[in-house]
Chain A
Amino acid sequence: MDQELDKIINHIKTMNGNSTDINVRYFNIHNQKVAFIFLESVANDDKISNFLGKSLSISVRSKKNLFENLFDSINNTIPNSKVKIIDNYDDIFYHLASGFTCVFVDGYNKAITLETKALLDRSVTEATSEPVLKGPKDCFIENILANMGLIRKRIKDPNLYFEETKVGKRTKTKVVIGYIKDIADEEKVNLLKKKLEKINIDGIIDSNYIKELLTDNQKSFLPRVISTERPDLTAMGLLDGKIAIIVENTPYVLLLPTVFADFFKSPEDYYTKPFNASFTRILRYIAFFIAILVPAFYIAVTTFNMEIVPSSLLISFSIQRESVPFPTIIEVLILVISYEILREADTRKPQIMGASISIVGALILGEAAVSAGVISPIVVIVISISAVSGMGFNDPDITNAIRIWRILFMLAACLFGIVGIVILFIIFITKLNSIEVLGTPYLAPLSPFSLKDFKNSLTRFPQQKIKTRPTYFNKKNINRIGSDK
């Protein structure tokens, strides 16, 4: 780095193409040129003037060499806590873009930076995508320090470690790994750190990028990482032995490793009575399989294996089919695709145009198509059951996965009936079993069978009865209730 002030300032300005938000302020203290650079878009004016006002006046009064004195005075007087000394241009620009102010003194090739970040984030608000009726309602925001704070205030254990890396060549996004040292598995943490180091991409905009880059070698439709907006879910996960990945500028925190059963848990289960929670959880599992299998089962039962249906129902089905010109599979496919289009339109529309699309869609799908003789009423019922069952999940990834598997099962059923569904089910289970996230089998606790863990996966037993943490995550400090070994 250069030593002359003008050269430094010029270098910095040309590095950024003379952007309009670079502001430079020159001083002359005891005949030494001092300059401040900050980026107006990210720095807070009040804090800068605070610094200028207080510490510089002190330094003017002293007589020693300005640079070293400057350092002491900044150290002792400035109210904010982050002060660093930097000596290369990349780091300078990184800190400038993070909202720091850089102080240069003519003749020295180092800079002092201090944090004067402006508040560009929203405040902690209610969770929009994962609502809960009776529990804490705060959610993560785009500020990484605030997110860490929301977790830290829930787990006051000194063993909660937060370790930071920077990922992304151009964005240099801060990524923080959080875990409880004596619960989480050391191997998994090390494996995760190695994987993060291997990421070689130019920009990380959202935690989803990291999600994809961490799990790219196993192609599967089902999600393998939980991304959540709620700090209470994160805290529960950390206590279970999971590892949290907090990414700057996004309110979604990743939790690794996950198993299939985790997508059927919601924090609401822990805020209501255990029996109700168990009932709801079992209902979610049933809903998942209904959503995938019911359209396929309907197609198989009405085209290949009609002997499953009782006589009176079969006669009523065949009367309904009389008026429909398409084969069953085309009928069901038309309905599924139009339902998906409606759902997509529903999520993208702004609030103002609200109700009209849903009403129009329901009218079209329901009444008019049946009366026009395009589809039969029973297919509408079947698809609505399947669609409604598929919507009851927290994570939109599961809903998307259900979409694809539903269509695959329908194709298998239309080719070979029940036998086709069974073969595809075998392939489905095998595929689920071959997924391993950071070394944890995906279908635990079903697949390496452990009866103890069913207490908190299939059902939700009362807190007194869930005595251990999940055994498929960790081996040490397993007891929740009573003393740790």
Chain B
Amino acid sequence: MKKLLIIPLIFLLTGCWNYRELNQLAITTGIAVDKENDNYKITIMIANSKKSSSSDGSITPSAAVYDGTGQTIYEAFKDTSLSVSKQIYLSHIDVLVLSEEVAKNNLTDVIDFLFRYPQTRNNFYLVLAKDKKASDILKVTTPLETFPSQNLAKNLEITDKLQGFTYTVDFTDFTKSLVSEGINPILPSVTVIGNSEEGNKEENVQQNEPSTYLKLDMLGLFKKDKFVAWANPNQSKGINIINNKIYILGVIIDYQNEKIVTEITEMKTDFKVENNKVKITIDTTGAIQEVNANVDLYNLKTIEEIQNSDVEKIKEYVNDAINLAKDNKTDIFGFGNYVYKNNPKKWNEIKDKWDDEIFPSLEVEIEVNLKLQAKGSINNIVEVRE
């Protein structure tokens, strides 16, 4: 009886449908989307697995870049596959770069394909390309990583924790803020320093200081799914503060015309929206990191003054950010979401008017509790004696 079961199996061996060998796949590590005369242009970066010609079989992967155009993203991919000798495989995308023009039109059209295709996973990062075409950004070689897309992704991950004014968005977060009520998405951006033509070549990484490299830049604000504005570094810091995404933030204040840097390490932000008023509460602790002024850190009053200046600075960041959002009539912080969650009936009445009318007219009240706990390894400034 059991032997009869094996016979139908043999018929199934004729061509396993989903069977693909690894070297038949073009493993895509990064995608860039541009707009070219009303068509979408897609540039993909493939991990090239060709073995180098040395006889001991040393493995050096390298990247290959291809592009294609089409009226929809799907067609553009098909166009790209006409020039690639392998099957495009999208499960290992690290980063998706979008140009400004694409972001200014309906972004949902662009990401719908990636949303629906079962191969793509949802943990890649999205970035905007500032002042350059997205494909240029993808082609810049770096001495630190083999693939530029990996370089970008790792850069995003690290700076997310270190800087405080970039904002790392992965696909789940982006789509969640797109579809949720009362919140609009934000994306980081990246730009090329130097000549982008040169950046494409191997010689760029063979000198000690590459002449062309990538640098993370300002945040981009969206309204629904269209890009509307850039945020400068102070405003970006404010956005991060309100969205509770700060791990480390450096606050620079002027004290007697010199600069003192306080590093904030824990920041917890809470906000409440009631009756057209937003109350933001920020609890932080900080440590003095760099003192360039001639102050006496043993003096309690000095510490208090530094603390107050820090608080003012933080409030300034937050106000900058909120004003920017109000000017562009887009609620990127989720105040509307808060109203929806806690007072759904009221939200139903005002949700159509929220972004345009009510949000710009919200009063903002900020309360900052800062504890300047530490001063670093030394207690006072370095006094140079004769």
Contact = CB atoms under 8 A, between A and B. Distances in A.
Direct contact of A and B (CB under 8 A): yes
B92 A322 contact: no
B59 A316 contact: yes
Interface in A316-367: 316-323, 327-328
Interface stretch (B10-18, B198-206, B207-215, B312-320): B10-18
A315 B57 contact: no
Contacts of B18: 304, 416-417
Contacts of A314: 22, 27, 92
A311 interface: yes
A304 B21 CA distance: 8
Given A414-B16, A415-B13, A415-B16, A315 B49 contact: yes
A303 B21 contact: yes
B92 A319 contact: no
Interface size class of A (residues with CB under 8 A): 20 to 34
- Majority secondary structure of chain A interface residues (helix, strand, loop or mixed): helix
A404 interface: no
B146 to A, nearest CB: 9
B22 A302 contact: yes
A317 B22 CA distance: 8
Contact of A306 (B12, B59, B89): B89
A68 B328 CA distance: 129
Interface string A288-312: 0000000000000011101100010
A327 B57 CA distance: 20
Interface string A145-181: 0000000000000000000000000000000000000
- Majority secondary structure of chain B interface residues (helix, strand, loop or mixed): loop
B107 interface: no
Nearest to B92: A311
A464 to B, nearest CB: 47
B281 interface: no
Contacts of A321: 21-23, 49
B61 interface: yes
B91 A306 contact: yes
B345 interface: no
Contact of A319 (B16, B51, B121): B51
A327 B51 CA distance: 18
A420 to B, nearest CB: 10
A304 B20 CA distance: 7
Q: Which of B19, B25, B150 has the most CB of A within 10 A?
A: B19
A315 B13 contact: no
Interface string A211-234: 000000000000000000000000
Contacts of B49: 315, 318-319, 321-322
A320 B61 CA distance: 11
Interface in B13-46: 13, 16, 18-23, 25, 27, 29
Interface string B264-279: 0000000000000000
A348 B187 CA distance: 68
Nearest to A326: B21
Interface string A398-420: 00000000000000001111000
A303 B19 contact: yes
Contacts of A327: 21
Interface in B82-105: 89, 91-92, 94
A319 B51 CA distance: 6
Contacts of B20: 303-304, 306
Nearest to A416: B16
Given A314-B22, A319-B59, A307 B91 contact: yes
A303 B22 contact: yes
A315 B29 CA distance: 10
A311 B121 CA distance: 13
A85 B13 CA distance: 70
Nearest to A309: B92
Contacts of A371: 57
A327 B15 CA distance: 13
Contact of B12 (A307, A328, A415, A417): A415
A351 B49 CA distance: 46
Contacts of B9: 415
Contacts of A323: 51, 57
Q: Which of A316, A318, A371 has the most CB of B within 10 A?
A: A318
A207 to B, nearest CB: 28
Interface in B119-144: 119, 121
Contacts of A303: 19-22
Nearest to B59: A319
A387 to B, nearest CB: 23
Nearest to B61: A315
A451 to B, nearest CB: 35
Nearest to A377: B57
A310 to B, nearest CB: 8
Contacts of A304: 18-20
Interface string A23-63: 00000000000000000000000000000000000000000
B50 interface: yes
B47 A315 contact: yes
Nearest to A323: B51
B91 A322 contact: no
A322 B49 CA distance: 7
Contacts of A417: 18
A318 B22 contact: yes
Contacts of B21: 302-303, 321, 327-328
A318 B50 CA distance: 9
A458 B47 CA distance: 45
Contacts of A315: 27, 47, 49, 61
Nearest to A315: B47
A272 B19 CA distance: 49
A311 B16 CA distance: 25
A303 B89 CA distance: 12
Interface in A99-157: none
Interface string B43-77: 00001011100000101010000000000000000
13 contacts: A303-B21, A304-B18, A304-B19, A306-B20, A307-B119, A311-B27, A311-B29, A314-B22, A315-B47, A319-B59, A322-B49, A416-B16, A417-B18
Interface of A: 302-304, 306-307, 311, 314-323, 327-328, 371, 414-417
